[in-house]
Structure 1
């Protein structure tokens, strides 16, 4: 019976490539199904053998922990360089786009609430 190791929906290409390389380096006999374009099937990495599934899950857990730490370090470095998210950052970098988005949000909110305001 097939064992699902990992969902591939919303997985970046570089992460999927690293996982393929990890499985190849450790001789994990896996197969892959791609996610569908419309989000109906999730796609993923699969194995048939239960012992192989356990070994692959252990490898994936170790890989995910390493990736978590490396991505967190990259994010902290990005933030320490003055880059960052948030409204104020976007307002400084792209004021017209940010103000247009905020105006659109307020307009949609007002139009959504208008029927309820008219009732009272």
Structure 2
């Protein structure tokens, strides 16, 4: 019976490629389901043979620890040398995005407050 190894929702393409390569290097049989047309399913990587599940999960766990450690090191290095993204740099790079978010928040507050004002009196 197939076993779900990795749901691909919010998984970067480079990470998915590295997981595929890892499974091939370990000679673990797998197949993929594609994402659905309307975004209900993001696709998944499944193991063909349930008996390889422990080996695959151990390999995936080790890979994810290595990826986490390298990502944290890269983040710390960028923060130390000042090249990392900050709130201020993001606001300067995308001011219209900030304005749109503020307008959307104001619209939501207005919609939530509307029944109060309509029923008040």
TM over 0.5: yes
Quick check: 2:28–2:52 contact (8 Å CA) kept in 1?
yes
Quick check: 1:8–1:34 contact (8 Å CA) kept in 2?
no
What corresponds to 2:21 in structure 1? Answer: 21
What corresponds to 1:8 in structure 2? Answer: 8
Which aligned runs of 4 or more in structure 1 are off by greater than 4 angstroms?
Answer: none
Unaligned runs of 5+ in 1: none
Unaligned runs of 5+ in 2: none
Deviation of 1:118 after TM superposition, in Å, equals 3.2
Deviation of 1:5 after TM superposition, in Å, equals 0.9
Q: Secondary structure at the match of 1:58?
A: helix
What corresponds to 1:60 in structure 2? Answer: 60
Q: Secondary structure at the match of 1:41?
A: coil
What corresponds to 1:114 in structure 2? Answer: 114
What corresponds to 1:51 in structure 2? Answer: 51
**So what's the TM-score if we normalise by structure 1?**
0.79
What corresponds to 1:98 in structure 2? Answer: 98
Q: Secondary structure at the match of 1:103?
A: helix
Question: Across the two proteins, how many residue pairs are aligned to each other?
Answer: 119
**How far, CA to CA, are the matches of 1:116 and 1:107 in structure 2?**
15
1:16-43 CA distances to partner (integer Å, 9 max, x unpaired)? 1101111111111111112213233342
1:66-90 CA distances to partner (integer Å, 9 max, x unpaired)? 111122222333333253343x444
**How far, CA to CA, are the matches of 1:30 and 1:91 in structure 2?**
43
Return closer, same or farther for 1:89/1:36 CA change in 2, 3 Å cut-off.
same
